[in-house]
A = this chain, B = another copy of it.
Amino acid sequence: MDDAQHQYVDRVATFFTMFGSARAWAEILGWLMICEPAERTQAEIAEDLGLSAGTVSTQLRAHVQLGMVEQVRVRGDRTQRYRLRSGAWFEVMSSELGRIHAMGEIARAAGPVLPQVRPERVTELADLADFFAREWPPLLERMQANLTKGQS
């Protein structure tokens, strides 16, 4: 891991940390974006980034559960390898749909306490959630079409 790589990992980590993610989580993400080879063991990641084995285990699991990272099994080698999933970023955008629905739920749950004055404080949120619930799936389709076209 040379200076430029270290710098880049730091930049990515700083960026994602701004949104509340753990430092180690973000560093692992940044490193998996640029490391070579793309597949790495937990021990290597720990060594490369100067993190403890425990931290790598925990944060790597978080990445796997989010669908950003996948495990690669190599025959004849007992070590598990991890790498950034192809389509990882797309996955993140797809999962946004769940949060959109949750927003709609929140807005609808306000029924019993809907204010007399300026009820749009709540209804605007409901409209927004409905709008995105409608628009998001076709947007994802266009996005996928756009990406597959670009990689040719």
Looking at chain A's contact residues, the main secondary structure is helix
Interface size class of A (residues with CB under 8 A): 35 or more
A147 pairs with B121, CB closer than 8 A? no
Cα A90 to Cα B150 with chains together (Å): 31
Residues of B contacting A28 in the complex (Cβ-Cβ under 8 angstroms): none
Cα A33 to Cα B114 with chains together (Å): 9
Known: A33-B125, A127-B150; 18 extra A-B contacts, CB below 8 A, are A8-B112, A11-B109, A20-B20, A34-B115, A34-B121, A36-B115, A83-B118, A86-B120, A86-B124, A88-B121, A89-B124, A90-B128, A124-B147, A124-B151, A131-B142, A131-B143, A131-B146, A139-B139
